[in-house]
Each structure stands twice: as structure tokens, then as C-alpha cells.
Structure 1
Amino acid sequence: MADQSDGNLAPKGKKGKLTNSQLRLLGFVAAYGPDGCSETKQALAGKLQISLKTVDRAIHRLREEGLITSHARFGEDGTQLSNTYIAAAMDGEGDHQDSQSEQE
């Protein structure tokens, strides 16, 4: 049986644990808080020292798992800017238990 105490976040989907790059990207985006991260994918790749393709795959996976959302941004002239990535509120058991405790 796999060790579940290794600190990796186990997503809700069927793909198993997140990779180190996916966890790092999630943490980076989460650090921006509720306003989200508007870095370009190229900038994310540079800051995290991973390839652009890895950033693309990580964003896709994190969106599939519901761990981040992305929102398109547009300039005043209508040109598309980088997306804004926002970490979803973690549906941790602690949060769920806290809300149940308040109701009781």
C-alpha cells in the first residue's frame, strides 16, 4: 500500500498524486491570494525553473482537478493578456469540520 503521509496532495480525480512541478505551481499561484496570479506561462516557467510545456500540463491538470481556475484578461484595446490563475479554496476536511461544528 502506498504511503499517504508523504505530504503530496491527492486530488479528487482519478490520476493520483500531483507531481512536484504541479505542487510547486499550485503553491506559487496560491501565494498570490484571492486576486490570483497574472504571470504569463513563460514567466511561470522561468520563475519555477521548469519548461513551458510542463507549465502547460500542470495548469491543465490543476484545472481538471478543480484546484485552480483561470480567467482571461483583455487590454483596453481588446488584445488578450495573460490569464489570471486563482487557487481554489481547498476543500480540506478541517474546513468542512469547522463549518459543521459551527452549525451544531
Structure 2
Amino acid sequence: MSSVGEHGSEWTNGRTGTTYQDMPHLETCKGVLRHLIAKGDPNGIPLAERAITEYLEVTPEGARRSGLRLIQDDVLKQRDAVVGDRHNFAETVNAYIERMLTPP
């Protein structure tokens, strides 16, 4: 059974009764970062940081770390596929994610 919940689409496993939610904010953040990495414009760094910050703000606390790891994996794949300014941009985004993953 599917429905739209507070955080996006939800579906329930008929056998176990467990309810799952998709992660639209995660996909939005990854999409923004992919676009910015493809451009490789250093002026886009604040936009990348804002995309990550906005993701964290709308994500439940218990899901933030694992979501950041998924975003980081995507950024690293993009980094490994590009060179020059785009590679450097992805490295900078990865460093920002690492700072977000490191406890204060």
C-alpha cells in the first residue's frame, strides 16, 4: 500500500507491516550537487553547502549521518569521473561533507 506522508511517499510491506519512506530531499540534494560538480564553477561552492545544509535541516536526526554518507558516495563517484575544476569542486564538497560528519 502506498500513500503520501509528511516527508514524501510511504509504502508498507504487506508481509511485515513495516512502513518505509522514500527520501526526496536526499535525491534533490544529490541532483543539485551533480549539476554543480558538472559545472565546476568555484562560485557554486556556497550553493553546494546550502544544498547540504538544507538536506540536514529537513532530515530526521537519526537519518542524517547515513544520508550524508550516501551523498558523499555520490560526490566521490562524480569526483572520480571528472578532471580539472570539476574534480577540485567535488573535492571541496567532499571536505565540507567530512566536516559535517565529524562531531564538534
Q: TM-score band, normalised by the shorter chain?
A: 0.3 to 0.5
TM-score (norm 2): 0.32
TM-score (norm 1): 0.32
